[in-house]
Amino acid sequence: MKKYFTIGEFSRLLDIKIATLRYYDEIGLLRPAFIDENNNYRYYSTEQFERLNSIKYLRALDLPINELLDFFDYREIDTLIEMLKKQKAEIARKKRELEIIEKKINLRLERIDDAVNTALDTISEVELPEMRAAYLRHDYVLGDDIEFPISELRTMFGINRDIFLGKIGISISSSNIEFENFNQYSGIFMLIEEEDKIEAPTITFPSRNYLRIRFKGTHMDAAYYYKKLLSYMKKKHYKLIGDSIEITLIDYGITNDLDKYVTEILLPFVHI
């Protein structure tokens, strides 16, 4: 039976790339049985089959190379058990992360579907659960560049690295709304999803009754709809009890088509 194999033969027999074998040789994880001094050909022995299969198995478990080097230097049962337990904990952590990502994707799909299929220019009375938000009190005049305060908000709350974060919104104070000053915003916020870890204290929009209207357009088009909401509120003898919540549900982050932008305004109210 043949005992030694060239690197090409060894590669084919054990289904591993030659480049990987060269790398394993370079770092000392799996060196050839010998190298022919005349032609520098690498030769591997049958005794190395088991070692390579062990390496492939442990790499399939996503164990890092440096831990494999330590293990093969000492090859103790306790070392292997500790490595596998550590990797099991890491896999559990990654699984939790993937479950969070899946939940965020599902939530984003639901929100997009809701925004795409929503009724526009129609006022509805809705009761919404409390909403947690990272809030930055910031005077903002309609037409100002909003990207800087958004960046400031992200930095302040340490949320630059999170994915699929909640929607960005802006807010008009109740006093400005009552005086129909719809060009002056008092704050910018980001709705926080349950799994998002935020470094700074957040605020909570309490569970309330809201007047809600959704329309085609952006914040630049909102004044008309604020007036429409106030007219409805007056007609129904409702009282405004807080600042507005204004969110662009579909914006440049989703589409380049301005005609598909959808913005939502919420005004908290009580019956009087």
Residues in the chain: 272
- Which candidate, 121, 125, 116, places its Cα nearest to that of 227? 121
CATH of the domain at 54: 1.10.1660.10
pLDDT of residue 187 exceeding 70, the answer is: yes
Number of neighbouring beta carbons within 10 Å of residue 13: 13
Give mean pLDDT, residues 162-177. 80
- Shared-domain flag, residues 141 and 252: yes
Letter for the amino acid at 143? G
**Domains identified in the chain, total number:** 3
- Shared-domain flag, residues 71 and 21: yes
- Shared-domain flag, residues 71 and 158: no
- Shared-domain flag, residues 29 and 40: yes
Q: How confident is the model at residue 165 (pLDDT cuts 50, 70, 90)?
A: low
Predicted confidence at residue 229, as pLDDT, reads 97
pLDDT of residue 268 exceeding 90, the answer is: yes
- Shared-domain flag, residues 112 and 134: no
- Shared-domain flag, residues 188 and 250: yes
Give mean pLDDT, residues 106-130. 92
Predicted confidence at residue 153, as pLDDT, reads 75
pLDDT of residue 243 exceeding 90, the answer is: yes
- Shared-domain flag, residues 32 and 97: no
Predicted confidence at residue 242, as pLDDT, reads 95
Predicted confidence at residue 120, as pLDDT, reads 95
Give mean pLDDT, residues 165-171. 80
- Shared-domain flag, residues 145 and 237: yes
- Shared-domain flag, residues 226 and 124: yes
pLDDT of residue 201 exceeding 70, the answer is: yes
Q: Would you tell me the crossing angle of helices 48-60 and 65-74 to the nearest 10 degrees?
A: 140
Predicted confidence at residue 199, as pLDDT, reads 67
* Final residue in a domain of this structure, among 56, 75, 94: 75
- Shared-domain flag, residues 255 and 124: yes
Predicted confidence at residue 37, as pLDDT, reads 83
Letter for the amino acid at 82? E
Q: How confident is the model at residue 160 (pLDDT cuts 50, 70, 90)?
A: low
- Asked if 139 contacts 184 with a C-beta cutoff of 8 angstroms, the reply is yes
CATH of the domain at 183: 3.20.80.10
pTM: 0.71
- Which candidate, 187, 181, 108, places its Cα nearest to that of 150? 187
Please name the residue ranges forming H helices in 3-146.
7-13, 18-27, 48-60, 65-74, 77-116
Residue 227 lies in domain: 119-271
- Shared-domain flag, residues 197 and 264: yes
- Shared-domain flag, residues 123 and 202: yes
Calculate the average pLDDT of the chain.
Answer: 88
pLDDT tens profile 129-155? 999 988 888 787 877 777 777 777 777
pLDDT tens profile 30-83? 999 998 888 888 899 988 998 999 999 888 888 889 888 888 877 778 888 888
Give mean pLDDT, residues 83-112. 87
pLDDT of residue 221 exceeding 90, the answer is: yes
Predicted confidence at residue 168, as pLDDT, reads 84
